[in-house]
Every structure is written in C-alpha cells, then in structure tokens.
C-alpha cells in the first residue's frame, strides 16, 4: 500500500508540473507577443532636415554654430558626403527613391521633374510610402520638387505642406493637405523657414499627444540658402566681411584644359566679384534662420523626452559655386564645390563628436531611413544604409577569429544631363561644342575613337589625321565604306509620289522622272556647303549631283557599287572639247577634284575616279591617302611655297563664303511667300508626328523667350549658355544691391557628363567623360581644387580601365551593382553583382601619374562610345 501511495504521489506531482509548464509556455507566448508589439511601438522617430544649394567647400557650415554643436558634438559627421547629380530635382528624386538618375529618369530640373511618368512609376516607391504603410506618422514641410504644381498630395504623407514650384522665402504658394494656400511678404508670418519650423514642431507634438506609441518621420525641406536669398530682418546686417568663398579656384580663369563651358567663360569683371561677395553674405544670413530651426527642433525633442529615441539627419541636395573658375554663381558642375554636401546624423547608438571618412551619397538616404525603421531595403534601390558605418566596435570573444572587416564602396557615379537622342540608324546624337574656335573643336572631335581609325569601317564618314605642321584635320572618307550608310528618301521623292498635277495657284508638280533615289539639295546649305571657287565641290564617292529644271538633286549610289573606270565625270572640267578617250589618258595630270560629279554618259553608268587632284601638285588617292610630288618632300622651299599657296586659297575662299552668307541672309529676309501644299505637309506630319511636334515646341519656346527679352529690353543672352541678369530691384530685402545691372552667363543646359569619383587608401581622383567626347582627370590628393586637367598624364590602359568602370556604373541597377569597392572581401558570394565578378578576376590598376608631355593624347581606347 505504501508503494501504491508513493506512485500516486508521483503521478500527482508530474501532473502539476505539466500544468505549470503549460502555463509557463502560454505565458511566454503572451509575453513574446507583447514584447514584439512593444518593439514595434518604440521604433525610433526620424527627422530629416534638408537645405537647398548649401555648399560645404565654401564654408557655409562655419556660420551655423548651433547646428554644429548639436549635430557635430552630439552625432557623427561624414566628411566625404556627395550627391550623384548636382541639380535640385534630380538629386531630390534620388533622395526619395534611393536610385541613381539613370534609374529614375529625372535628368534635369525640367525633364521628368514631377511629371506624370514620375508620379506613376517612382513616386509610389519613395521611403515615405514604405514607412507610412508600417505605422509611421509621416509629414513633409517645405520644398518638394521644382516642378511640383500643388494639384495633388504625393503618396505616403499623412501631413503635407509642400511648396509649389521652386524656392522662395516670401510671396509663395503652399499645398496644405490638398488646399492651396498663398502667402505674402510679412515677417514672421510668411517667412518660409520659420513657417516650416513651426508647422513641423506642432505636428510632432500633436502626433505624440494623440498617438504616443507611434513613431514620427518628418522632412523639413528648407529653401535656404537658395535664391532669392531673403534673410530674416534680424540677420540682415550679419557677416559684413564674408570671404569664405574665396578659394584657390576663385576667379581661376580662363581654363583651356577643361570642358567647353570653362574654355568659353573668362575671368569675372569687378562688378561680378562684388556680386559674389554680396551673394555669399546673403546666403549665410539665410542659413542663420535654419540654424535657429535646428535648435528649436532639438529643444522640442528634449522637452517631449524623445531625443534619445530620435534620429536626426542634416544634409543638402547639392553644393554650390560662387566665383570658382570665373563662374559667377550656380551648380551642376562635377567638381568638389558642387557635389560635396554637409552630412550629419545623430541618434541612438550613434557616436558623438565623431568624423567618419566613408563615402556616403544622397542615394543612401532612403535605404538608411528604411533601415532605421526596421524595414527591408528593396533590392532595386542603388544606395546602402549607413547604419552599418555607425556601429561601434563591440567586444569580441577571444576565441573568435577571421572577423570580417566593414566592406563599403570606394567609387560612385556622378551624372548630369539629358538622354542623348537616337538617330534612325540607332546611334546616339552627341552634343556639339558650342562657339569654340575651329581648331579647338577639331581637337576635341579627334579624341573620339570613331575618327581615329582609318577609313575602312563600314559607315565611317570622317577620319582625323595630323598634317605635316602638326595640326589635326578632319578628312572625309571617300572609300566604299562610306556608301554603306542607309539613306532615307528625300522630300523630293515624297512629293513625286503625292503630286502628279498642279493645283490652282500652287505648283507642287515635279518632273515626270523617277525621283526615289534622289534627295533634293538646297543650294548653299549650312551643313553641306563646302567652300570652293566652283560651287559643286563633291568627291563623288557617296552621291552624284544632277541639275534638273533649275534644281540640284543628289543621286545616292547603290550599296556595293564598284567604280568602273578612274575618270573625271565633270562637264566643267572635261578639258575643252576632248571626249572620254582623251580623259582616260589625262586623269593623273588634269583632274582637279573641284568640279561636279554628273556626266551625260550614254549608258547612264555612274563612275567614281580612283584619285582626286586637289592642287596642281597633290592628289587624294582611292585608299584615302594624300600623295604629292616628290619635290615637295625634298625641297623645303617648295614645301613652303606650296603651303603658302594653299593658305592663300583658303583665305580667298573664306572671304567668298562670308560674302555668300551675307547674300544668303538677305535672301532669307526677302523670301517670297511660297505655295502651301497642304496634302504634302499633312503626310509629313503623319509620318513623323512626334518629331515634328518636338521641333515645333522648341521653336515656339525659343520664340516666346525672344519676345519676352524684346519686351523687357533684355540683351543678356548668349547662344548655348544659361544667362541671368541682376539689378538693383532683384533683392527685396536688406542688404540691397546698389551697383546697377549686369549680365552673366555661367552654365548650359546641354552640358552632359558622366564621372567616376574614387576615394580609398591610395587614390583620390575624379575622372569625367563629357557627351562631346572631352575627358577630364583630376588627382585630388595633389590638386584638391581641380585646377589642372591631368588626363594627358594617364597611360592608355589606365584610361581603358577607368572607362570600363564608368560604363559599368552608368548601367548599374540595385545596390549590389552600384557600390563598387577596391578589393572583394566576400569572394564566392553567389549574389555578387558585376563589380564583384569583375574585381575577382581583374585587379584594379590604379592610375599612375607620369611626367606630362607636349604630345597630344592620341587615340583613347579601342571601341569606345561616349
């Protein structure tokens, strides 16, 4: 019985223990769920403070003592912070999406900026949308995008106070939660910096009062120090002797070794230099209100007890230049003063009074904010979270070996400009150098690989050669390779298909002749006219000209056409009354190369000469080489005499061209009204309506600008450049400008470039490829202000490798491809992108400087397409 009692007691004890375990398990499950909910509720607040056009290279942060005390001493300063596109709307779009410009397609402040395409494809994928969907109280206050029109509330924002259009301090319009709100010129009621500060603080306090367990994410997007640089009245007398903008590159001009804008603009005038001093002073004054704003936000966090649970980020959309390289003011250049920005962060577990040298970019903002909120970062974002760089070193177990170091990018892409338009043959239409001397344009063109190969490639039209004097020349390819380019039928053939008889009062008729292989050729056309004593200068390998009823047409040679006999077909140079038999015996001595290329042959054969005699002593052979008499190569005096003769001929032809242009201008002004063939015009519009509409829009836009300048009596304009005027009425707040009006042209809309910026333990450089084919390279270690373009000091293989790296970045997508590094510390990573694979098998050969030489750069790299 005792044994049975013992077993019964054991059973009771086991049953009780099982109940206790079950209750503990259920309790653990309830605690775990509560713990998870608490973790979700205590997610940190996020406040992003953004300024507009604030530099760090020109000393703007020196004026913001409160911000530096709060952000520098209380947080981490990233000393190598950059933007990937130094323009407002593209950079802000990158901040919102975490993507490079080539992935969100907002290339300029006008093109696709807040467009329907942006609103449909990229705006629904900003960091605000992700945070709003996970319980954050989101709010935006201030400038959004340059072309935002205030007709809608972007997705993801619970509180929306967005500035309509571009930056202003007074007399602006806000979209407050869908309702347009106009403001006037009263301080402090309408001063935008103070309004942003007060509205954001009120929203934070209200959110914490109504929803104490929900985190807040706010963006304070200030207009300062962007123009019109209106400061608060109490700061209008600050910084009377501001001179931080006078750096070694200040008014460093001219710059013949840089791209075309730098070569075109010269040193500033005294009035421009006075303006830069005043501009720097007013910009710093506007930043004092931002400095007050940062302090107010900080005090609000202290009062609400949220300081220790809030991340505060301070940065700008891009830098700025004031007088650098003679550019009076502006941005959009790939140099340090435009791409470097201030970047500070403070918050939980962020080390105070620290300086972090890693590269951080504007595309890192969105991934960082998502990482702070505890969300997964979408793989299509090109940036990376910087929280990884803020982790303090934790104590490591003494048995832990092979601890991986932090892997971070050492290079990034700087891109700016529009997409290059495609031609019908699929090639990109490159931008042209504007208004440079001819020799300089030729020198730049000769840097392109397409002009450096012999005239043997199919479709090649031009070849760059160096003459005996050392000058670079562009020669037209005359071989059969140039005939392979497909040609579209001209307007004359289209007319021939549409009109067979004339209409009343309108002669749209064309001769009863098969015109499909013809292209109507305008006499003295701007692009195809070649200066000569006799008009029809044509080297007869690409087309043959005929004159029909007073009009000149060009017959395209068929593909694969082979020359039959080397003879001159020009009637004007048929040498008197001799026939074809006489020509065959005199082709080498009497062919001038200056006549037309049509001949009344009885069998209608189109013949191409094997050589063209340009002068009485030099000819161009069929293999595209120049051959002169032996005496020119042996006698220096004969060489000088012949060169003098050629120079004289060129001067004579240039004078004649000038006279002909004057006559052409007169004829354009005195052009009679021509017949309006509606049917023909309608067919042209239907065939390429899109292209016609684009041209018409550009024409009307230019006309509106011209009429506006004429109405305002504005003479401040220069073709190809963006100009601005300034007078005594421009600034409406003190300090005022009193030195009268002036004009300055310092930038251009067609300045497209792609740059590779690299910073690591051994190298610090900037390498740029411009759409014009021009190259720039600066070693920042030895030339921190980018005064001298050192591209001529690089070896060929180094240029090739830099180009390969740049082309990979230009096409990268996602953070795995868009964040290259010097060495691969994660070899074998299956998810590695193209950069990981590339550097696993190809060690990066860093640029090695060599002594500059007086020789030109020569051929750049094989197969390069810029």
Question: Do residues 297 and 238 lie in contact, with contact meaning Cβ atoms separated by under 8 Å?
Answer: no
Question: Do residues 744 and 328 lie in contact, with contact meaning Cβ atoms separated by under 8 Å?
Answer: yes
Q: What is the Cα–Cα distance from 823 to 846, expressed in whole angstroms?
A: 12
82 alpha-carbon distance from chain centroid:
15
CA–CA distance from 17 to each of 32, 41, 579, 702 (Å)? 22, 35, 124, 89
- Does the annotation mark 446 as catalytic? no
How many CA atoms are closer than 13 Å to the CA of 34, on its beta-carbon side? Answer: 6
Q: In 3D, which of 218, 89, 91, 90 has the Cα closest to residue 161?
A: 218
Q: In 3D, which of 749, 743, 711 has the Cα closest to residue 730?
A: 743
Question: Do residues 333 and 356 lie in contact, with contact meaning Cβ atoms separated by under 8 Å?
Answer: no
Phi, psi of 233 (to 5 degrees): -55, -35
For 744, the token pair is 């300055």
Q: What is the Cα–Cα distance from 552 to 597, expressed in whole angstroms?
A: 12
Q: Is residue 657 packed enough to be buried (19+ CB in 10 Å), middle (13-18) or exposed (0-12)?
A: middle
Q: In 3D, which of 599, 259, 213 has the Cα closest to residue 443?
A: 259
CA–CA distance from 114 to each of 19, 120, 330 (Å)? 63, 10, 22
Query: Which stretches within 712-842 are classed as H helix?
Result: 796-810, 834-841
The sign one gets for the Cα dihedral 577, 580, 582, 583 is positive
- Please tell me whether the peptide bond between 392 and the residue prior to it is cis, using omega within 30 degrees of 0: no
For 2, the token pair is 């005792």
DSSP, res 230 = P
Say what angle helices 365-372 and 88-97 make with each other, to 10 degrees.
30
Q: What is the Cα–Cα distance from 553 to 860, expressed in whole angstroms?
A: 39
Residues 6+ apart with CB under 8 A from 750: 417, 418, 431, 434, 720, 771
Q: What is the Cα–Cα distance from 419 to 425, expressed in whole angstroms?
A: 17
Q: What is the Cα–Cα distance from 383 to 100, expressed in whole angstroms?
A: 8
Q: What is the Cα–Cα distance from 276 to 246, expressed in whole angstroms?
A: 9
Q: What is the Cα–Cα distance from 290 to 295, expressed in whole angstroms?
A: 9
Give a three-class secondary structure readout of 800-813.
HHHHHHHHHHHCCC
Q: What is the Cα–Cα distance from 114 to 666, expressed in whole angstroms?
A: 45
656 alpha-carbon distance from chain centroid:
40
Q: What is the Cα–Cα distance from 216 to 860, expressed in whole angstroms?
A: 53
CA–CA distance from 805 to each of 177, 738, 741, 751, 801 (Å)? 45, 50, 46, 21, 6
Question: Do residues 863 and 851 lie in contact, with contact meaning Cβ atoms separated by under 8 Å?
Answer: no
Question: Do residues 305 and 79 lie in contact, with contact meaning Cβ atoms separated by under 8 Å?
Answer: no
Point out the catalytic residue in the list 88, 89, 175, 464.
Answer: 88
Query: Which stretches within 501-594 are classed as H helix?
Result: 580-584, 587-590
Count CB atoms within 10 A of the CB of residue 685.
Answer: 14
Strands (E) in 699-781, as ranges, are 722-726, 742-747, 753-759, 764-770, 775-779
Q: How many residues does the chain have?
A: 866
Q: What is the Cα–Cα distance from 648 to 864, expressed in whole angstroms?
A: 38
- Provide the annotated active-site residues: 88
């Amino acid at each position: 019985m005792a044994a049975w009692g013992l077993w019964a007691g054991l059973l009771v004890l086991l049953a009780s223990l099982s109940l206790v375990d079950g209750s503990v398990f259920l309790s653990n499950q309830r605690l775990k769920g509560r713990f998870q909910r608490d973790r979700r509720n205590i997610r940190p607040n996020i406040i992003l403070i953004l300024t507009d056009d604030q530099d760090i290279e020109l000393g703007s942060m020196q004026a913001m003592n409160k911000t530096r005390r709060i952000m520098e001493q209380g947080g981490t300063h990233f000393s190598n912070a950059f933007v990937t596109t130094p323009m407002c709307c593209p950079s802000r779009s990158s901040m919102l999406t975490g993507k490079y410009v080539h992935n969100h397609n907002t290339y300029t402040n006008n093109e696709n900026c807040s467009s329907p395409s942006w609103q449909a494809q990229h705006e629904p994928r900003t960091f605000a949308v992700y945070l709003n969907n996970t319980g954050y109280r989101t709010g935006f206050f201030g400038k959004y995008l340059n072309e935002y029109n205030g007709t809608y509330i972007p997705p993801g924002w619970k509180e929306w106070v967005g500035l309509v259009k571009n930056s202003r301090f007074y007399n602006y319009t806000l979209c407050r939660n869908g309702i347009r709100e106009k403001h006037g010129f009263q301080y402090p009621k309408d001063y935008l910096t103070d309004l942003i500060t007060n509205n954001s603080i009120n929203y934070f306090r209200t959110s914490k009062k109504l929803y104490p367990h929900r985190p807040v994410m706010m963006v304070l997007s200030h207009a300062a120090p962007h123009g019109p640089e209106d400061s608060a009245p109490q700061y209008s007398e600050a910084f009377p002797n501001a001179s931080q903008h006078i750096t070694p590159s200040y008014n460093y001009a001219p710059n013949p070794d840089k791209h075309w804008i730098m070569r075109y603009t010269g040193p500033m005038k005294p009035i421009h230099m006075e303006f830069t001093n005043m501009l720097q002073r007013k910009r710093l004054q506007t930043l004092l209100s931002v400095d007050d704003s940062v302090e107010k936000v900080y005090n609000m966090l202290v009062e609400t007890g949220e300081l220790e649970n809030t991340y505060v980020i301070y940065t700008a959309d891009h830098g700025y230049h004031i007088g650098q390289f003679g550019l009076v003011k502006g941005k959009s250049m790939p140099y340090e003063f435009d791409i470097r920005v201030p970047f500070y962060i403070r918050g939980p577990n962020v080390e105070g009074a620290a300086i972090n040298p890693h590269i951080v970019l504007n595309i890192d903002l969105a991934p960082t904010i998502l990482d702070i909120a505890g969300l997964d970062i979408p793989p299509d974002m090109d940036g990376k979270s910087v929280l990884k760089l803020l982790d303090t070193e934790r104590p490591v177990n003494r048995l832990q070996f092979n601890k991986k170091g932090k892997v971070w990018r050492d290079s990034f892409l700087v891109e700016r400009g529009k997409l290059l338009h495609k031609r019908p043959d699929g090639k990109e239409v490159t931008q042209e150098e504007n208004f440079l001397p001819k020799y300089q344009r030729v020198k730049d063109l000769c840097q392109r690989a397409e002009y450096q190969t012999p005239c043997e490639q199919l479709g090649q039209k031009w070849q760059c050669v160096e003459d005996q004097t050392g000058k670079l020349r562009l020669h037209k390819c005359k071989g059969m390779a140039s005939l392979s380019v497909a040609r579209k039928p001209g307007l004359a053939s289209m007319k021939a298909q549409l009109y067979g008889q004339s209409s009343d009062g309108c002669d749209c008729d064309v001769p009863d002749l098969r015109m499909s292989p013809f292209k109507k050729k305008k006499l003295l056309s701007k692009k195809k006219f070649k200066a000569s004593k006799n008009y029809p200068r044509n080297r007869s390998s690409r087309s043959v000209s005929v004159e029909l009823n007073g009009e000149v047409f060009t017959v395209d040679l068929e593909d694969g056409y082979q020359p039959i006999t080397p003879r001159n077909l020009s009637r004007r140079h048929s040498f008197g009354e001799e026939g074809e038999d006489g020509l065959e015996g005199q082709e080498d001595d009497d062919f001038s190369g200056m006549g037309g290329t049509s001949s009344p042959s009885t069998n209608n054969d189109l013949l191409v000469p094997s050589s063209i005699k340009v002068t009485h002593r030099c000819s161009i052979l069929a293999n595209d080489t120049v051959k002169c008499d032996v005496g020119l190569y042996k006698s220096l005096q004969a060489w000088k005499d012949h060169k003098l003769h050629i120079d004289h001929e060129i001067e004579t032809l240039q004078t004649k061209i000038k006279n002909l242009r004057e006559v052409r201008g007169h004829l354009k002004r005195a052009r009679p009204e021509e017949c309006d063939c509606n049917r023909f015009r309608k067919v042209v519009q239907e065939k390429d309506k899109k292209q016609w509409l684009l041209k018409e829009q550009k024409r009307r836009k230019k006309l509106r600008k011209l009429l506006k300048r004429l109405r305002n009596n504005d003479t401040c304009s220069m073709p190809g450049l963006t100009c601005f005027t300034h007078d005594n009425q421009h600034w409406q707040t003190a300090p005022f400008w009193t030195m009268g009006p002036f004009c300055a042209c310092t930038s251009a809309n067609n300045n497209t470039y792609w740059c590779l910026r690299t910073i690591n333990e051994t190298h610090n450089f900037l390498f740029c490829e411009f759409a014009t084919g021009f190259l720039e390279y600066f070693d920042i270690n030895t030339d921190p202000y980018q005064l001298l373009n050192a591209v001529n000091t690089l070896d060929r293989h180094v240029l090739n490798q830099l180009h390969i790296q740049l082309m990979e970045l230009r096409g990268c997508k996602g953070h795995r491809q868009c964040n290259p590094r010097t060495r691969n510390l994660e070899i074998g990573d299956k998810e590695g992108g193209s950069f990981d694979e590339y550097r696993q098998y190809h060690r990066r050969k860093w640029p090695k400087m060599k002594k500059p030489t007086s020789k030109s750069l020569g051929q750049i790299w094989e197969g390069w397409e810029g």
